[in-house]
């Protein structure tokens, strides 16, 4: 079994309500490590609040490309870096290290917005030689996290995709997506959009501790219902399944999402890459101490004795008899509840440049 990682001591002066973690582990690329220590003086320390900060990035390109055999898309766009939802298990936390920021509290509070994303996307779609295929929106951080309410970058991206008639797959747990049902329903009518709604647990108390600023499970089921009612194809994203903590809920979550209107379902096992492992272990010790050893033992049973296994073909579902049992349970529930094996394919034939004011219309 892998050796348990350790987090630096927490700064007791820090006040950060409704955050996934108060820890600020140094980015793994930093040569220096900083850790809070009591100076021994009996003077009262000044309390500090961890408030949200938003920096601006002006990218030259916004489409990111991948060749992963585990993913159903080769291109993605993320309007934001970092995510205020604060999900403690988020596999995207380590990406903040590339910015010289901590994957811990910084990931939740020091966000990067990309306001030029819609204009840059339109430029990329119009480049000679661009070949259309579904674009994934929300592959790394949530496009409809709270900051979107004021920045409206994601809506701008959707408007570009609609105008170009470009197919898009979406992953979110943000209830703000309902604001954009006008665009989504229009695109759905042309077979251009699919939405995956992430749901980890039906336990409101557990969700509050684990995903402190994300919508409640009940609210996410209402999102599925609203999207389905608007004619938008919806997939349940049962992710992550946490062995020993949420795995017993698999069938109940699938039933609730199916009742709400989800047409298809997908699941993935908890992933703990890089800095996520010590952050999640620390969260278990603080919020579920009596279950910590069981959770990590079961996870390591599916990860070859380690906290994480990044190998293609195994990283989403794990390996071994316990992982095989989860796959079997999911398949049985999927068939029993009448889930489709997948959502209808997106229409690639509609892609074309938008018609601007005064432009010559095509005869055909």
pTM, two decimals, is 0.89
69: confidence class by pLDDT, cuts 50, 70, 90:
confident
pLDDT in tens, 256-296: 999 999 999 999 999 999 999 999 999 999 999 999 999 99
> Does the residue 193 lie in any domain?
yes
> Does the residue 348 lie in any domain?
no
Burial class from Cβ neighbours inside 10 Å (0-12, 13-18, 19+) for residue 74 reads middle
**Helices (H), ranges, the chain:** 105-109, 117-125, 148-151, 153-164, 181-189, 204-210, 217-229, 250-260, 276-287, 292-302, 321-336
Tell me the CATH number at 76. 3.80.30.30
> Does the residue 141 lie in any domain?
yes
193-198 and 168-172: which strand pairing? parallel
What are residue 196's DSSP bridge partners?
171, 235
Strand order in the sheet with 110-113: 53-56, 110-113, 80-81
Per the structure, the count of domains in the chain is 1
Domain that holds residue 213: 52-336
> Does the residue 197 lie in any domain?
yes
Burial 241-264 (b: 16+ CB within 10 A, else e): bbbbbbbebbeebbebbbebbbbb
> Does the residue 361 lie in any domain?
no
pLDDT in tens, 318-360: 999 999 999 999 999 999 999 999 999 999 999 999 976 544 4
């Amino acid at each position: 079994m892998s050796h348990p990682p350790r987090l630096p001591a927490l700064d007791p002066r820090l006040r950060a309500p409704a955050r996934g973690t108060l820890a600020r582990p140094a980015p793994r690329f930093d040569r220096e490590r900083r850790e809070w220590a009591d100076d021994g003086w009996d003077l009262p320390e000044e309390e500090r609040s961890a408030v949200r900060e938003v920096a601006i990035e002006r990218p030259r390109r916004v489409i990111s490309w991948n060749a992963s055999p585990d993913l159903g898309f080769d291109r993605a766009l993320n309007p934001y870096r970092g995510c205020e939802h604060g999900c403690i298990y988020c596999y995207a936390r380590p990406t903040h290290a590339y910015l010289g920021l901590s994957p811990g509290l910084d990931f939740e509070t020091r966000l990067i917005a990309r306001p030029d994303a819609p204009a840059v996307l339109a430029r990329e779609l119009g480049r000679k030689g661009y070949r259309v295929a579904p674009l994934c929106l929300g592959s790394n951080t949530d496009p409809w996290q709270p900051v979107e309410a004021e920045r409206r970058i994601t809506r701008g991206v959707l408007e570009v995709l609609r105008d170009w008639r470009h197919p898009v797959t979406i992953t979110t747990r943000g209830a703000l997506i309902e604001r954009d049902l006008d665009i989504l329903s229009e695109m759905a009518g042309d077979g251009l959009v699919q939405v995956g709604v992430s749901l980890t647990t039906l336990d409101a108390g557990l969700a509050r501790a684990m995903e402190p600023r994300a919508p409640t499970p009940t609210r996410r089921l209402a999102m599925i219902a609203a999207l389905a009612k608007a004619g938008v194809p919806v997939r349940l994203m049962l992710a992550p399944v946490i062995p020993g903590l949420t795995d017993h809920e698999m069938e109940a979550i699938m039933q609730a999402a199916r009742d709400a209107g989800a047409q298809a379902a997908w699941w993935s096992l908890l992933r703990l890459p890089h800095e996520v492992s010590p952050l999640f272990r620390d969260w278990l010790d603080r919020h579920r101490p009596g279950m910590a050893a069981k959770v990590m033992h079961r996870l390591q049973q599916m990860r070859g004795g380690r906290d994480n296994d990044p190998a293609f073909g195994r990283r989403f579902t794990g390996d071994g008899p316990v992982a095989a049992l989860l796959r079997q349970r999911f398949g049985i529930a999927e068939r029993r509840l009448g889930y489709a094996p997948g959502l209808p394919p997106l229409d690639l034939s509609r892609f074309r440049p938008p018609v601007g004011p005064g432009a010559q219309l095509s005869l055909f």
